[in-house]
Structure 1
Amino acid sequence: MSTPSAPPTTADALSAPPHPARLGTVLLVIVTAYLMVGVDSTVVNVALPDIQRGLDFSRTGLSWVLNAYTLAFGGLLLLGGRVGDILGRRRTLTAGVLVFALSSLLGGLATDGGWLLAARALQGVGAALIAPSTLALITTNFPEGPRRHHALSVYASMAGIGGSVGLVLGGMLTSWASWRWALLINVPIGLALTLALPRFVTETPRHAGRFDAAGALTGTAGMTSLVYAFIRVSERGWSDGQALLGFGAATALLAGFVLIEARAGQPIMPLRLFADRDRAGGYVSIMLLPAGMFGAFYFLTLIGQQVLGFSPLRAGFAFLPLTLVMFTIVRLVPRLLARFGVRPVLLTGMTLITVASVWLWRLRPDDGYVTGLLGPLLLMGLGVGLSFMPLNATILARIEPREAGAASGLLQTLQWLGGTLGLSVLVTVFGTATRHATGSPADVLTHGASRAFGTGALIALAALLVAAFVIRGRRTDA
């Protein structure tokens, strides 16, 4: 006579994977949440001219619509990962989706610039809770082997797809309805995800730990002060008192952040990750590359609509050549890494990005899309496709398993913060170049943008030099 089995414990319920028949639904729910984050990094790009007219932003102040999101996202990303470890990944992901949906609703209803920027910052907070939890949930919900490998490959493709979908989707919604729908579309998706997550996705066990709130706050506040100071300089000049105060506050806050992280028992950014020469060079490079690219996308969006006369929809589709080339080359990169190693592939990609930036620097008001923009976009897509995977391999090579999460989280953080800081620097160059410029609006915009592209070329060159002289790269790292 058999004894009745004991009821499952809470730990069993948390760790039990879903039934194989439901794995497709589980994957759909998780990658949709991750896709929302990627889409919203670009969905408002092509809507920027409409937002500028609707809420009376200046051309330099308009960059805050992007920076408010990326600053909060990048600055709180590591803390969001720690929250998921301590409170549970599914619970954290659900909370992040709710925050994201609510902030999208608030942004879509904004009646002035300050309201929209606050909503975008709150979106960044939601994204910082969403992004770190999605990858961990795939690991715990999918059994090791082919099913997990397939899920991870789908997940990885969402990062690039999200940005591309955001550009086209933002153009469609802005052209056919209003820029507000680029934000409001997240509300029904977020509500559906909130209902689906507890039903289909298995929770992860909680782990004891501490929140490094002091590190997260000082780091985010320091970067915000630095970006604010640059934007202020672009509007008022280098002698502006508030700009100088912002630079001083940023210096103090970021110095405090380093001291806090050096002494914290469980830091959100373990400084020991920079001890390895190749990894440190990879981190610097992966921060510098988006620094020039975010600015390029920002100004190319304005040029497409305000100089070339594109509709928002056409402006979104104008970036598709970059996306198609990038996706094509990314499929070949693993074989290239296996054959040639990290350094040759990485240096080739960074060289192409630098050449594309120099090409954009030569942009003139009478250049059309084919003669002035198509070539640089194709080169940049090729360069990005060749650069980021070798950098990821370099950063994560020979990493201790217990530090893999921190290393990959820091990688994502530096990407977002690098792009934000780079955009603020390029906007400063643009504002300085156009403050006293004369001529038609198209001439002034192109003149300022070309100066910004020149600065972006110098940033890309700096990344290339770091890769060439700091990263040694080993064939086994691939």
Structure 2
Amino acid sequence: MTSHSGGDARISEHASAVAKSRGPVLLLILGAQFVVMVDASIVNVALARVQSSLGFSPAGVQAVVTAYATAFGGALILGGRIGDLVSHRRMFLIGMAGFVLTSAACGLAQDPTQLVIARAAQGLTAALLAPAALALLTTRFAEGPARNRALSQFAAISVLGFVGGLVLGGVLVDAFGWRAVFAINVPVGVTAVIAGIRALPPAARVPTRVDVLGAVLVTGAVALIVYAPSRGSESGFASPGFILPLAAGVVALALFVFWERRAKVPLVRLGMLRSRQLRTANLVMLTSGAMNGVGFLLSALYLQNGLGFSPALAGLGIAPMGLVGIVVGMLGSRVLGRLGVRITTTLATGLSAVAVALLALSMAPGGHYPLLLVGLIVMGLGFPLMSASSRVAASMGVADEEQGLAGGLGQTSFQVGTALGVAVLLTLAVDHSAGLGIPGPAATVAGYRLALLMMAAFGAAVAVLAGVGLRPTTREET
């Protein structure tokens, strides 16, 4: 009886500690996500300086981006699942500490090989950090209004971080050089580690076994699938450079499923993938990744190639979208509460498709920035709400011990969507421009318009699928 009472007391104490830590944890996780998203965009601004400083070839410098994206996208599922097994707190702290060290290594790199290796390592540590951070939110905030509010703020800070990286990158590169875009992560990351040790209640150690073969197969499969589109955009989608890694990724994924069905302690419980709710939410997140990648990239390119903005001024031109995202973060949970997850996700996806179409229609040689600004503002309304509602949908009904895996799946879908969207649609834009036979910006802008309109059409179709595939919440049923 005494032992039972002691166990209950310990559980009660842990629950009380978790409840008290919610506010500090939310601030900590939002700060960590801001840093990760800043890093996702800030490097793009510095590529030209990196190329001239370290002697990269014009094509080779893209490896700085590809190495990070491949490692990050490939390891997200594994990172999320390990967090479920060894505790999200522990994985968050390890991931953040690793992110600090690898950021420092990037800033100290003396040649192209060192920087590419350091960027790949940085992507791996980010893949440990990101799903753990998301799981810390979903396990501390119960399904419903509290979680909706936290995930709305998480989505808004993601947009703000990405846009902030575009602006901050130009400032840092001009003032201190390209190494500063990596060095800035170090003091921020160290602060986050210290704050995490203090704010996150320790979790009990649970004996675990990791499915090593499953981990190797799924990480390799997703990494190859994320990597293949970048090769396709460079050498053509009918070339061996695209077909071979894509085929290898698909084969590795099939082997992973075969193995997981027979493993005594599988890395991923395949039963959860049969959930139509989870599949639909991940389709929306994949589309969100494609829309974000294509929308940001082509907006920045249009501002520079169509309107003559400098890279730094182009970043400032996109910044209003991030400011609108802050407002959405404050109001997103109210929208979810009033409309429910299914209707909100459907409307947000449709609104995002409209925003991308507005971007396309605003683009013209010698055009005007205020026209583009309308599309950017609508993007600021739709993108964060689409991200938040799909994350809420993906976390619904998922046990705490699988929230890391669910988060990793969602973030993987986003990364795959970004890689596919940018590679396929940018190639489409370039091919269309070349086929017009018109010299100058007119052909370039025509390619941008076509790519964005194709993305908008796909987004509209996914909005319909979201309305069909997501289950209604109690509010929507009444």
TM range, smaller chain: 0.7 to 0.9
Rate the CA distance shift 1:192–1:390 in 2: closer, same or farther, 3 A.
closer
Normalized against structure 2, the TM-score is what?
A: 0.80
Residue identity opposite 1:364 in structure 2: A
Structure 1 gap ranges (5+): 1-10
- Which consecutive unaligned segments of at least 5 residues does structure 2 have? 1-9
Which structure 2 residues correspond to residues 280-429 of structure 1 after superposition, within 5 A? Answer: 280-362=279-361, 363-371=363-371, 373-429=372-428
Residue 252 in structure 1 maps to residue 251 in structure 2 = yes
Amino acid at match of 2:461: A
Letter in 1 for 2:106: G
CA distance in 1 between counterparts of 2:61 and 2:453 reads 21
Once the two structures are TM-superposed, the CA of residue 298 in structure 1 deviates from its matched residue by: 2.1
Distance 1:365 1:220 in 2: 43
Matched, 1:130 2:134: no
Aligned partner of 2:38 in structure 1 is 39
Question: How far did residue 345 of structure 1 move?
Answer: 2.8
Superposed displacement of residue 307, structure 1: 3.8
Trace 1:2-401 onto structure 2 (pairs within 5 A). Answer: 31-51=30-50, 56=56, 58=58, 64-110=63-109, 114-134=113-133, 158-194=157-193, 198=197, 201-362=200-361, 363-371=363-371, 373-401=372-400
Question: Is contact 2:211-2:267 (8 Å) kept?
Answer: yes
Provide the rounded CA distance (Å) in 1 between the counterparts of 2:27 and 2:346: 36
Provide Cα deviations, 1:371-415, integer angstroms capped at 9, x if missing partner.
Answer: 2x2122112222224323332333333344554443334223322
Change (3 A) 1:280 1:32: closer
Shift of 1:447: 4.2
Output the amino acid matched with 2:312: L
Q: How many residues align?
A: 463
Indicate conservation of the 8 Å contact 2:51/2:57, yes or no.
yes
Alpha-carbon RMSD across the aligned residues, in angstroms, is 4.0
Structure 1 residues 300-309 or 434-443, which shifts more?
Answer: 434-443
Shift in CA distance, 109/449, structure 1 to aligned 2, threshold 3 Å = farther
Q: TM-score, normalised by structure 1?
A: 0.80
Amino acid at match of 1:258: V
* Matched-pair contact (CA < 8 Å) for 1:429–1:452: yes
Please tell me the residue identity of whatever aligns with 1:336.
V
Given the superposition, is the C-alpha separation of residues 180 and 76 from structure 1 closer, same or farther in structure 2, using an over 3 Å criterion? Answer: same
Q: Deviations along 1:77-117, whole A, 9 cap, x unmatched?
A: 23223434544555433432332123223323445555443
Alpha-carbon contact 1:103-1:123 (below 8 Å) kept: yes
- Please tell me whether the aligned partners of residues 270 and 406 of structure 1 are also in contact (alpha carbons under 8 angstroms): no
Equivalent position amino acid for 2:315 in 1: G
Q: Which residue of 2 aligns with 1:474?
A: 473
CA offsets 1:333-370 (integer angstroms, 9 cap, x no match): 33333333334333322222212222333423322322
Counterpart Cα distance in 1 of 2:402 and 2:25: 27
Larger CA deviation: 17-26 vs 260-269: 17-26
Cα distance in 2 for partners of 1:444, 1:325 equals 31
CA contact (8 A) 2:320 2:376 kept: yes
Q: Are the structure 2 counterparts of residues 432 and 118 from structure 1 closer, same or farther at C-alpha, using a change threshold of 3 Å?
A: farther
Rounded to whole Å, the distance in 1 between the matches of 2:380 and 2:357 is 15
Structure 1 residue 258: Cα displacement: 2.7
CA contact (8 A) 2:157 2:326 kept: no
Q: Do 1:268 and 1:406's aligned partners in 2 also have CA atoms closer than 8 Å?
A: no
| Pairwise CA distance, 1:170 | 1.7
State the shift of 1:125 in Å.
1.0
Tell me the distance in 2 between the aligned counterparts of 1:410 and 1:376: 29
The residue type paired with residue 73 of structure 2 is: G
Percent identity, aligned pairs only? 34
In the alignment, which residue of structure 2 is the partner of 1:463?
462
Greater mean deviation of Cα atoms: 189-198 or 242-251? 189-198
Q: Counterparts of 1:465 and 1:98 in 2: how far apart (Å)?
A: 42
Which residue of the partner structure matches residue 7 of structure 1?
none
* 1:431 CA drift (Å): 4.8
Which residue pairs with 2:3 in the alignment? Answer: none
